[in-house]
A and B are shown apart, each in its own frame.
Chain A
Amino acid sequence: MNFIERGKKRVLKRSRRIIFMGILFSICFFIIALKAFYLQTLQEDVLSRRALKEYRRAGRSMAKRGAIYDAKMRELAVSTGVVAIGAHPKQIVKPKMTAALIAKTLKVSNSKIMGKMLSHKSFVWITRDASPDRAAVLKKAVADGLEFYPSYTRIYPNKTLAAQVIGITGLNEKALEGLEFYYDDYLKGNARKWTYIRDAIGRIYMRTEESRDGGEGKNLVLTIDGNIQYIVEQAIKKAVNRFNARSAMAIVMTPASGAILALANYPLFNPNSYNRFPREIWRNRAVTDPFEPGSTMKVFLAAAALESGKCTPETIVDCENGKYTIFDKVIHDTHPHGLLSLFEVVKYSSNIGAAKIAEIIGPKALYDTLTDCGFGEKTGIDAPGETSGMLRNYLAWQPIDNATIAFGQGISVSALQLITGVCAVANDGLLVQPRIVDRITNADGTVLKKYAPRVVRRAFSQSVARNVREMMRAVTMPDGTGPQAVPKGYTVCGKTGTAQIINSRGTYEHCDYNALFVGFSPARNPKLAVLVVVNAPQGSHYGGVVAAPAFREILRKSFNYLNIPPERQVEEKNEKKGQAGSSVGEGK
């Protein structure tokens, strides 16, 4: 082998090996290209979705929420502009100094802010409702690490007033209770939505608007009158304090239109700081909670008896001197009576008399009138969580039920159902739908929707209504069960009630009673219907003693506020002037 040939062979071997490496590298590049192609075509959806999930976030801000006004356009709930302030603790250069500055500006405790600054989270909320002025000061002073989000906070200027009716709009504009919840679709402003791209250290890199226009929410104008509401709340508060009661509720309604002027639940709570109050007092119990109505049911028994044609006000029953055994149950009267007419059964509130009248007319007649008066079904009030009460079909009644339902046991009703039924008596037999919202207005004040009074049905005839009114008028006479309900100078048709409270086990609590008074005034031309329910009073549990004074106070002050003059004064004036006048007068 010569030298040149050997050299050629070497070069050949080397070249072969070099080309072999080139091919090997090419295969590597091919695999790389293949993997890139696989990731960027087949895996594109999966991977880009994973990436999006990490860096894209959605945000939304609500336009201003509508306000809630009372009947006289007083603000009950309003939204005001605030600034929510958040912080990225890791981005804040001098946490100690910044915390002190924030604490000073927002007038909050330094240690609390410092705690948030030292948090290991990438984002913390400093406050959700700083005033715009203070936020502006902070924005100027702190360069990095703080985020400012304009938003709104809900303010209830009258604090506890009508809180359970209005309800609550909580954090993040979330409606929780009451009208705020029921009318949320109208009240809430349109959301402005956007998406933003977030970098890995939590800063917002890019923002894109999804929908810009955020129309303001609609306003509610209620039938509630803030002044009457206040009167009612004070009256039941007084009753609760006086009798050491657990709670109380009261409703004031205009019988002819069904407009609710006041609806109060005691204890009160402040929706501005709702979290500090127990949850169970947030709800509007007058609408949501059923209870046994007790003797107030005798009003409807009387209506049923007269409507059936089997009785007249003068129909006499034997009241067995206070003790009457029906099947295996003994019925008692508070005061023993002998023979009483239907009229007197209502006036003196005899349970035995009521049971006997019910026996005369039979279950069907009683059931029909009760259902016609709206018991056992929802009134359709515009408030969340309404109960329909409990009224079983008469075919399912036990023999004893007919007698007990006549005096308000074995049936449960809501306060709203009860006063709505009583309003039918005041309305010559017409059952009207109770309502709490008068109209919905646009942000500029123009009316969007008006709720007119609505007659549901005729519950009983006009003459029946008149007769029942007479009986209810007698209740408030000095020898009736509820004389304390009458404000001086006015006439009142009413009915007392005392009902044992059914506990959660479905049995009667021995010493827990509801004391009730329901009625309307003036007797001849009812302007206001009022129901007062005092829950678990101590000392006395009679409606005529516990609830009637509050009823009287509500009427007296409301009439005064509404400029409805005392009837006798008017009559005297009219007599003096020798004119025939209406009971609604110009004087006080």
Chain B
Amino acid sequence: MSLEREKKDWFSTDPLIFFPVLLLTGIGVVMVYSASSEIALKGYQNEYFFFTRQLVYACVGMLAMAFGFFFPYRLYKLLAYPIIIFSVLLLCGVFIPGIGHSAGGASRWIDFKWFMFQPSELARFSLIVYMAYSMTKKEDAVERFSIGFAPHVLLLLVFTALILPQPDFGTILILWALTWIVMFGGRARLLYLLGSLIPLVPITLWLLVSSDYRLKRAMTFLDPWKYPHDEGYQITHSLMAFGSGGMFGKGFGQGYQKLFYLPTPHTDFIFSVIGEEGGFVALGFIIAMFLLIMWRGIFISISVKDTFGALLSFGIIVSITLQAIVNMGVDLSLLPTKGLTLPFLSYGGSALVFDLFCIGILMNIARVNKR
């Protein structure tokens, strides 16, 4: 292999991931503007408030992507424990007055003076890295309970305990699903994976019945139009947004549900805003982009020669896809309401930077293994 070829490879990104991600991030920045301009105008007297921030996040995210792309991914094996410790520290920091930052009744951020950071994003990343590391290290014994199952669940429980009081049930749910799926991919025994799910059924039922509030949430999910003014308010307005959009949408900036009808149009419900303004055509395109990214990721994951790279890329792709599916499912009322953002598209710095960083790692794995 000539030096020139080697040099070219060093910079060669994976176009089937890079361009869809770039496109989605671009659409996200523009749609964040459309969805948030009225809210920003009212809240901050500046219609570009969220737009300029998202633009900056996207730029920072691109740098993070470059870092992920060039930083040798095998070194994460060595960093697995330090990252976990760092995550736990930051998750604790959320509750320390002066460092932690609360908004809307939730303490999810750490105030770094120049920017807000959401430690649960780092926790998610550290979980992926740790699982890839641990299942690679003990590859021969991964089917044993104490090797392939228990340590991961233990770490998960630690994170759960730290995130639960924030509170952020959506993230916890994603972390659990992510852990199970990565364990599944890492050849953990199905007996443990499925067996441990059995007690979930009575626990879920008990949780539902024990609280009127949760029962009503469940009833609302089954028929949101029955409670259009309280519990079903968000979801009915989300559905109205999709319905108003029709096949081709109302046109950019022409949606009305973002006019304070949808509570968080630029974060949790950006998919609804896109549905109203861009119609099914836009939604179909976005779904296609996510499918493309996912299958490309899966292809990378199965073609990678080293186990760590395979599991790391699998973890990354599951994390992003899972988040996208749950967010879209919530907005379309296929899943009960949970506060989750849509990767690349929703407003939010920590999530965007980390997602782009992870995409950088994914492309890194692809590039290294192509040689």
Which A residues are within 8 Å of any B CB, using their own CB? 10-11, 13-15, 17-19, 21-22, 25-26, 28-29, 31-33, 35-37, 39-41, 43-44, 46-48, 50-52, 54-55, 197, 199-201, 205
Contact = CB atoms under 8 A, between A and B. Distances in A.
A39 B259 contact: no
Nearest to A13: B187
A325 B240 CA distance: 85
Contacts of A51: 237, 240-241, 243-244, 256-257
A50 B314 CA distance: 42
Interface residues of B, number: 48
Nearest to A45: B243
Contacts of A26: 291, 294-295
A144 to B, nearest CB: 11
Interface string B264-279: 0000000000010001
27 contacts: A14-B187, A14-B302, A17-B184, A17-B185, A18-B185, A18-B302, A21-B318, A22-B294, A25-B321, A36-B283, A36-B284, A36-B332, A39-B239, A39-B243, A40-B243, A40-B245, A40-B275, A40-B280, A44-B244, A47-B239, A47-B243, A48-B244, A51-B243, A51-B244, A51-B256, A51-B257, A55-B259
Contacts of A28: 325, 329
Interface in B13-44: 38
Contact of A199 (B187, B260, B287, B328): B260
B259 A200 contact: yes
Interface of B: 38, 139, 181, 184-187, 236-237, 239-247, 256-257, 259-261, 275, 279-280, 283-284, 287, 290-291, 294-295, 298, 301-302, 307, 310, 314, 318, 321-322, 325, 328-329, 332-334
B283 A33 contact: yes
Given A32-B334, A197-B256, 10 more contacts: A13-B187, A14-B307, A21-B184, A22-B298, A29-B291, A36-B283, A39-B239, A51-B256, A52-B244, A205-B256
Contacts of A43: 239, 243
A55 B261 contact: yes
A14 B280 CA distance: 36
Contact of B310 (A14, A19, A35): A14
Contacts of B280: 36-37, 40-41
A48 B246 CA distance: 9
Contact of B243 (A21, A32, A48): A48
B260 A200 contact: yes
B334 A31 contact: yes
Chain A to chain B: the 3 pairs with minimum beta-carbon distance, closest first: A47-B243, A199-B259, A200-B260
Contacts of A50: 236, 240, 243
B287 A29 contact: yes
B259 A41 contact: no
A13 B38 CA distance: 52
B294 A47 contact: no
B114 to A, nearest CB: 31
B181 A21 contact: yes
Among A13, A22, A36, max chain B CB count under 10 A is at A36
B245 A55 contact: no
Contacts of A47: 239-240, 242-244
B325 A39 contact: no
Contacts of A39: 239, 242-243, 275, 332
A200 B298 contact: no
Contacts of B310: 11, 14, 18
B147 to A, nearest CB: 14
Contacts of B294: 22, 25-26, 29
A168 to B, nearest CB: 39
Given A28-B325, A47-B242, A205 B298 contact: no
Nearest to B284: A33
A224 to B, nearest CB: 53
Contact of A36 (B236, B259, B275, B321): B275
Among A22, A52, A199, max chain B CB count under 10 A is at A22
Nearest to A200: B260
Contact of A32 (B244, B246, B329): B329
B182 to A, nearest CB: 9
Nearest to B244: A48
